[in-house]
Structure 1
């Protein structure tokens, strides 16, 4: 889907997509920005569109990707739950996310493979989000089978201070601005939430970014810091609602601590007749996560709480070079690159705990995981109406867990065919292979290191009328191994091979101060290997729809927005006999500007006050009272409720 951003009738300028995304190019046409992509399911959103939509959680930045839904099944210090193209992506597996060129997905993570925690991001500092779906770009490697999103930070923002207040102890203070090429941002939040056990979120994010040059020839250096502490109300079984209420907890000591510190640097510009982009980064992060999903199933006396913990250091760099050439009289746009990454976990562990006190070590490991990837792709304009992009990528991995070593390599070809435009309509065909890596601790025990995926999609994109754009995509994706959630461990493990297919329809209308976005998607996910329990993939979202409407008159004092998201039911067990409930949530925003510098904004979440679930699972558990009575475990639906209707008021001032 092609997404361009208009504010008061003009386009918000952004830096070149080509500098950060090898599959996307940007051209300037009569004061507007047009985004040329290689797939109907790829696009870009800008800062104005991001600023216009209310966000209950930072992770909802990814909901700007059409068809992607973001929920939560635990405390707000934890990574979100993501759904896209028939995947319950858990906390990020099979969807690759990058911030300022740094990968967010964590390999061999203590809680889940591909864990993507976006809580460190300050949304007001995100200049652009470039997204694509499917494994069709040579620049995308690990975790990108369902798609990828790249968040690009701003080099400069207006000097602004804002304060936000809401019920349940919600408080947020933001200070951001730019001085002599140095961007700064500080975001401090507190929140108890509607839970019986106050969430007591204490979060701090900070950014310093020094940059120079311009979109054609520039550089940047960025430092980011993030710390968070919280209590958590995890999912509870339906049978406990009468005892606890919807917002109750079965273990008041669940929660965690997280931190992330990073430094990065980048350089882009002309070199040797082409264009080069260089990035390097270092990240130090930590997590201590206390969870209890089965309550008193395994340890009736003390309870089943456990701690997943890790201390991680990540180092990485990438280099890309783009140049033009000719072959047999045809013009070629070429790109090649190399990406390296090293993760060191010292340690990563799983421990049994009681009230956050460690009682035993289940396992504790030192992990080193290193990868190197190379890719190349070439775009050829065969005819005025026919273009192809052919690419290939190769990746090599080394796994080391306490001296036990393993290695793996994989090659993934890619192809895109673009026909048109005819009457402002383009046709797209994409095919390619992708992969996700598995946890190093499983790899050294014999689990497949790199799981191949194979995808194909066909789509069209058209400008039906001035300001009215639409895209339609049919897709299919096969995976060599499915990762599924395990309730009693709070993590994922490899399962059977699977196949998915679906259809997506996205439409955008921009008329004067009005903007309307409509996204709809249906999908079907099945295991390809037969088993007695059934062939449906648990948690696979079958349908979703989202509508976003905003009104921002040029020079006007008032602005408003409304969005609604529908998630259909999904199978919770392989035979489909237990299914989740559908949910429909709405949010609204109204803003008033006092002069040129001061603005008051009211956001209302869950506008209709629906009693829906953010997430639902089906597994066996035993309540403490059941354990004392000597009752056996019971299979039940375990859910985490959406928050009730919540209003937040923000006062911001530019200085």
Structure 2
């Protein structure tokens, strides 16, 4: 498909819209509701029932065991870990085991968090660089219906927006179980006609593991801004460094035999070292009824990750530890122009945008190691991956009860790989067109109805696009660079009951090529096409000022669509999620929050004969305001000390004394036992 005819047709369609100076249609003030300052999900503010915003108030009032759990504020999302706390989390949403981020796009302001062609896994999303106290809000979307969402966004996307200023400075110190220590210092001050915000975080943690985790984390942010969110600019520098030991998943048979305890390990030298440094510029400029947005960023990151999932299956003497290593430089530029117009007397809001990104990996490699010492190189690649996405969308209000949003995006990718494996070097390219459509009916009795359809995609690892040989010398065929996805959704959102925001969505998502965890390599590989269907019901209710209840329920079904004797169940696919939260932040000295989260069993192999158990956990926070600006809070994680799994896999591994073929077994990473954290916070 040629680019020029597409762009010409797109330009022609937009030319039909005559620029005008009529204001963009606004939702009447009485219809806009912010539930306790925690949500901006009111009727009339979104194009899908599964779209919304979480504000900083709720983030600050709920306990989180790990930084990455900030994404659990997205309804239906589960965040776990199968390794050390310096590694990206494991994510589950809409019937997906998203691994470390594939098919869910995450951004910190304009910077993509998902790393393509990553040493550990495609779409790797490490949020440990984030300081949660500096987050202003989280804008989330689910599905393939949004023209400004591209790679990795088929299941959904989260845009984590950083604050330009803080209402007060913050100094906090947290002490907890298992050697936990965390300190945060942050403030914003007026400087040179703008605002300068700074934040620093120091974190130490050994965890409950038999091998102390020895997390040593440093994070910092410096941000200068002028103007407003709609008309101004910001310049942000972020820095992050983390070192840790890891207790990876362990085989069930080793625990049942007493070889190791639940919090034990089989390779005490697993762990890693990660760093991330970024500089980003964002600008918004209003001109009458139009607005120009421009974002540019550059990022440098490094990772050395040591893992051993199969123990002595490949090497009975030294073990199977391997190192995944990369050195990445990433840069990007995003620009968008929006403006009001009329078409046949109907009010329109148009937007066109360009999103570019360039990744340079020098190198990305996998090495065989023993006790973190390299003994051989499996493969080492120099990768250049560039992409450009052009999108356009038009939102039209046809009458008082019907509006529509029509969009299309075009994405083009270029890959260049120089590999240590003969025959795997080369170039590849691909492109894809993704149309989108949303219809919104209402409101009637403060209730809206949604119909959404669209096409999306995810990119595959660049190394696979030119691969003709495997590391062991066997033949291989190149993978499809860009894999199409197709989704649809029927939804409703209502505020008919005073104080209650409720939404219901029925959805479906088809993927032309699934990504599946391969246990013996600790990586993902392309597999059969799949279909997921599900239902989500989200509720946020103000009982009275200062008291908020949340109830989010989700059920899904995930199956391969191509017949295979192995079965049609998708390993790791999540069938149900339930979360219930209570937040008390009323006037007076006391504050409290409790959160229950449940995620159901997952099939671990295709025929469904082996499954994980479900996991239900409760976290609690109780706090007291010692003075107007000083508070003391106690967080209790896993309140009832449940013995459950954060994640389970089923694959082949070999322990000392076992036969050369090893044993197929469940390998699990336990949830952490009950732990306490006490935080003293002062605002100044």
TM-score by length of 2: 0.91
| Structure 2 partner of 1:617 | 649
- The residue that corresponds to 1:29 in the other structure is 29
Name which of 81, 104, 109 aligns with 1:100: 109
* CA-CA distance at 1:26 after TM superposition: 8.5
CA distance in 2, matches of 1:396, 1:271: 31
* CA shift digits 1:469-507 (9 cap, x unpaired): 111100000000000111111111101100010011111
Q: Does 270-279 or 51-60 show the bigger shift?
A: 270-279
1:330 matched to which residue of 2? 346
Shift in alpha-carbon separation, 1:416–1:285, aligned structure 2, 3 A: same
Structure 1 pair 281–260 and aligned structure 2 pair: CA distance change class (3 A): same
Match of 1:68 in 2: 77
Could you tell me which residue of structure 2 aligns to residue 533 of structure 1? 566
Q: Structure 2: which 5+ runs fail to align?
A: 1-23, 35-39, 419-424, 468-477
1:217 alignment partner, one of 204, 228, 231: 231
Which residue is equivalent to 1:644? 673
Distance in 1 between residues matched to 2:632 and 2:248, nearest whole Å: 34
The 5 A counterparts of 1:459-608 are: 459-510=491-542, 511-554=544-587, 556-608=588-640
Q: What do the CA deviations read for 1:296-340 (whole angstroms, capped 9, x no partner)? A: 001000100000000000000100111010111111111110000
Aligned pairs for 1:301-340 (under 5 A) are 301-340=317-356
Aligned in 2, Cα 1:27/1:425: closer, same or farther, shift over 3 Å?
Answer: closer
1:441 to 459, 463, 471: 463
Deviates more, 1:592-601 or 1:259-268: 592-601
Q: Match of 2:115, SS?
A: coil
In structure 1, what is the equivalent of residue 253 of structure 2? 239
**What SS does the aligned partner of 1:76 have?**
coil
2:165 to 156, 161, 178: 156
2:208 to 194, 198, 202: 194
For residue 114 of structure 2, give the secondary structure of its aligned residue in structure 1.
coil
For residues 221 and 397 of structure 2, the distance between their equivalents in structure 1, rounded to whole angstroms, comes to 42
CA contact (8 A) 2:598 2:615 kept: yes
Alpha-carbon RMSD across the aligned residues, in angstroms, is: 1.3
Write the distance in 2 (CA, Å) between the matches of 1:260 and 1:112. 17
Aligned: 1:654 with 2:683? yes
Aligned match of 1:450: 482
Aligned equivalents of 1:544, 1:25: Cα separation in 2: 37
Q: Secondary structure at the match of 1:243?
A: coil
Aligned to 1:6: none
Would you say how many aligned residue pairs link Structure 1 and Structure 2?
Answer: 628
Label 1:469 to 1:244 Cα distance change in 2 as closer, same or farther (>3 A): same
Q: Return the offset for 1:464.
A: 3.0
Counterpart of 1:396 in structure 2 is: 412
**Greater mean deviation of Cα atoms: 511-520 or 404-413:** 511-520
Q: How far, CA to CA, are the matches of 1:530 and 1:57 in structure 2?
A: 40
From the superposition, tell whether residues 592 and 239 of structure 1 become closer, same or farther in structure 2 (CA, over 3 Å). Answer: same
- CA distance in structure 1 between the partners assigned to 2:656 and 2:88 by the alignment: 28
Runs of 4+ in 1 over 3 A off after TM superposition: 24-28, 30-35
Tell me, yes or no, if the aligned pair for 1:303 and 1:624 is still in contact at 8 Å: no
Match of 1:84 among 93, 115, 136: 93
The answer to whether structure 1 residue 138 and structure 2 residue 154 are counterparts is: no
CA distance in 2, matches of 1:61, 1:373: 28
Unaligned runs of 5+ in 1: 1-23
Q: Where does residue 18 of structure 1 map in the other structure?
A: none
Which residue is equivalent to 2:470?
A: none
Instruction: Give TM-score scaled by structure 1 length.
Output: 0.95
Aligned counterparts of 2:511 and 2:576: Cα–Cα separation in 1 = 20
Other-structure match for 1:9: none
Report the 3-state secondary structure (helix = DSSP H, G, I; strand = E; otherwise coil) of the residue aligned with 1:168.
helix
Equivalent-residue separation in structure 1 for 2:387 and 2:508 (angstroms): 28
Q: Secondary structure at the match of 2:125?
A: coil
